[in-house]
Amino acid sequence: MTANVDLAVKVMLALVVIVVATTVCGRLARRVGQPRVVGEMVAGVLLGPSLLGAFAPGVQTYLFAPSVKSVLYVLSTIGLTFYMFLVGVALDHGFFTRGAMRRAGLLATSGIVPTLLLGGAVAALVYDRLAVPGTGRWLFLLFVGGALSITAFPMLARILQERGIENTSLGLLTLVAASIDDAAAWILLALIGAFATGAGSGHALLTMAGTVVFAVLMLTVGRRLLRVLGDRADREGAVGRDGIALVIGLVTAAGCFTDAIGIYSVFGGFIAGLAIPQSPVLRRVLTEKLMDFNAILLLPVFFAYSGLNTKLGGIGHWALVPPLVLILLAGTGGKYLGCALTARVQGLSWRYASAAGGLMNARGLMILIFINVGLGYGIVSEELFSMLVIVAIVTTAAAMPIYRMSISPAIEEAERAIAAAGSVPDATVSTR
């Protein structure tokens, strides 16, 4: 076989393994009351060096050779970008009022600032033990605090969609807050990368400016142009092949642009989704044509690729348990208490405030991407990397138990019904 044919065979074999592993682990997760996405995240880690690489290194090396991993990275980026596009398409635009955005912004800030400060304080305590020699103290503190302050925007979207609550008041509030949270985290990562590589703060400022300009243009000029496609779809009751091609090209270009400016392609896809007009026919057709293939094949590749770079063997002795506990408490406590108290101050009931704090704690694999970048910059040690992987899994797995303890099934079903009827319930007056 030629090199290209051999690579194609290996990639397809890897995809089969990934689909099987994520499907099985996803079903097991559902059986124990966890979202399917938690099982898919664990499956990705198990396919990496932590399990498959430890017990069958030859198989792991053959399945996921460097050339295969390069292709998987491209597929995972495409899958995640289009998934977040579909999340943006599905969101009710009626939520995006000035007051709602202010509440979401406050919720995001209340999750970022306390966690950033607590994470930085813990990082100061463990700096001598866990920092890579030569890493500046303030750079290390900023990185650890930033990693802990993340809410996994794509992960939270997947959890909310699995339960059918993405368009409820709480679902919309936390989802928009998570998008703001992650945008801030990636800007922070751009700043960290600039200092780690000696590029300076100018690169981070360009990233911020480019993000604002892109979002404004997409949600004004882009939305007006796309409205023509939406109106035509509603008149004809269908969307032609050229229309689908136009949308796919737009999403790809949006992801490419945001990736190029350092804010990650996921946000380009999400903003492109928000720019899609509220055309029932266009939204339905896009979801039907793109969701299943993306969610079953491409999105699990994202989890698998991240897991391939995750090593849980970094924690090798009991002396590292206290730092792990401190890091976990700083990340969980800062995010949960900050978000819950702010949600309560904004008028939400204690039940809704607690649920918001739990959902915003879902860090998922976005933190894995963050810390993999830090590993590449030489900021974090293998021990700290492993600790942050554990934080990602524990906090994501804890999100739904906290939510279920806070919100009863009857309340959730009532809000789901209200959202399905086309109106957004007001969580500030619900079930005090």
Structure tokens at 166: 């993405």
Centroid of chain to Cα 290: 19
pLDDT of residue 75: 92
pLDDT of residue 432: 39
pLDDT band of 336, cuts 50, 70, 90? very high
- What CATH number is associated with residue 89? 1.20.1530.20
For 380, phi then psi, to 5°, come to -115, 150
Per the listing, tokens 């409205």 go with: 227
pLDDT of residue 20: 94
pLDDT of residue 73: 87
Residue 429 pLDDT greater than 60, yes or no = no
pLDDT band of 431, cuts 50, 70, 90? very low
**Any residues with CB less than 8 A from the CB of 77 and at least 6 apart, and which?**
255, 259, 265, 302
Distance, in Å, from the CA atom of 294 to the CA atom of 299, rounded to the nearest integer, reads 6
**Any residues with CB less than 8 A from the CB of 261 and at least 6 apart, and which?**
206, 207, 210, 211, 214
Distance, in Å, from the CA atom of 15 to the CA atom of 174, rounded to the nearest integer, reads 32
What is the percent of the chain with per-residue pLDDT over 90, rounded to a whole number?
27
Angle, helix 169-197 to helix 137-148, in steps of 10 degrees: 160
Q: What is the mean pLDDT of residues 174-181?
A: 85
Calculate the CA dihedral of residues 176, 181, 183, 188 and round it to 10 degrees.
Answer: 170
Give me the domain span that covers residue 130.
Answer: 3-429
pLDDT digits (tens, 9 = 90+) for 399-426: 888 988 888 887 777 777 766 665 544 4
Distance, in Å, from the CA atom of 308 to the CA atom of 52, rounded to the nearest integer, reads 10
pLDDT of residue 313: 63
Burial level of 399, CB count in 10 A (0-12/13-18/19+)?
buried
pLDDT digits (tens, 9 = 90+) for 307-316: 776 766 656 5
Q: What is the DSSP letter of 310?
A: -
Structure tokens at 66: 């460097």
pLDDT of residue 38: 82
Residue 198 pLDDT greater than 70, yes or no = no
Q: What is the identity of the amino acid at 336?
A: Y
Pair 353, 343: CB distance under 8 Å: yes
Mean pLDDT of the chain: 83
Per the listing, tokens 């607690």 go with: 354
pLDDT of residue 44: 85
Calculate the CA dihedral of residues 367, 371, 373, 378 and round it to 10 degrees.
Answer: 170
3-state secondary structure labels for all residues of 183-216: HHHHHHHHHHHHHHHCCCCHHHHHHHHHHHHHHH
408 versus 23: the higher-pLDDT residue is 23
Distance, in Å, from the CA atom of 375 to the CA atom of 206, rounded to the nearest integer, reads 24
Report how many domains make up the chain: 1
Per the listing, tokens 């694999």 go with: 365
Residue 427 pLDDT greater than 60, yes or no = no
pLDDT digits (tens, 9 = 90+) for 265-280: 878 888 899 899 988 8
Q: How many helices (H) and strands (E) does the chain have?
A: 20, 0
377 versus 421: the higher-pLDDT residue is 377
**Sign of the alpha-carbon dihedral angle for 245, 250, 253, 258:** negative
Give the CA distances from residue 423 to residues 168, 169, 351, 363, 413, in Å, rounded to whole numbers and listed in that order.
Answer: 9, 9, 21, 29, 14
Residue 345 pLDDT greater than 60, yes or no = yes
252 versus 365: the higher-pLDDT residue is 252
What are the residue ranges of helices labelled H in 237-363?
241-260, 265-275, 280-293, 299-308, 321-345, 350-360
Structure tokens at 410: 């009857």
pLDDT digits (tens, 9 = 90+) for 50-100: 788 888 989 998 999 999 999 998 998 898 889 889 878 877 666 566 777
Distance, in Å, from the CA atom of 77 to the CA atom of 298, rounded to the nearest integer, reads 9
